[in-house]
Amino acid sequence: MFDLNGKTALVTGAGQNVGAGVARTLASQGARVLVNDIVARRADEVAEAIAAAGHSAEALPFDVTDGEAVREAIADRPIDILVNNAGNAGAGEMAVKPFAETEPEEWIGPLAVNLGGVLNCTHAVLPGMIERGWGRVIAVVSGAGTVGVNIGVAAYSAGKGGAAGLLRSVALEVAQTGVTVNSIALGLMSNTGDTGVTDNLARAIPTRRLGTPRRRRRPVRLLGLRGGLLDDRPDHPPRRRLHHQLRPNGTGFQRPSLWRWR
């Protein structure tokens, strides 16, 4: 069920935190993992650690906000699984302040990486997936983009919400091609921003704890399965596939909250 041997997975922003955990998990399931990060050193370190554990990985540094760089990096690499994980403010620093106090130039970074990066990478890999009749596209989004947060990251919320909306439409477009498209909305993470702010917000969470990269790996592993969360048997029409929606549940760990037949 969890065998990804023969599959190639590209994980963006995989040089640290959630992305690194996802890359290690997919590699442990047999996938050959392309470890992307805008910082080459971080990508190299994660790829080397995966290889040292006996799995297959290659560092593939590029900037997801640069569409030409994305296309050049994967031009001769058939991608079976794409995990759009790169986020935050990309190469820059996140301006954490109320939206009314921001300047337009402060919106560019969060929108470029959280929405533009997903557009660039998904657009680059999707034709090949459709042609081969199999593919898995996953985006790590955020509760900030689905329900909103009052911590001064409105542009980031816009980027994550835009990515989630994009993939909903793409999922419908490719529903009968053998390609599945899903997003995972994370709650507050232990490695996110000002610990004073996040610790205060964590007090409102029933379990009083934040999410960790280790816990984020499981839903990505499920969505990357050969059968995904769909019933791909030939006696089931494509439009009768099961759609899985993952939502934040206040603890940072996303549980299946809605199952419906499409």
Q: Which residues are the active-site residues?
A: 156
Closest CA to 68 of 120, 146, 7, 122: 120
Q: Which residues contact 146 (CB under 8 A, 6 or more apart)?
A: 160, 161, 164, 185, 247, 248
Cβ distance 84 to 122 under 8 Å? Answer: yes
Q: How far is CA 256 from the centre of its chain?
A: 16
Alpha-carbon distance of 17 to 13, in angstroms, equals 9
Strand partners for 82: 10, 137
Cβ distance 120 to 65 under 8 Å? Answer: yes
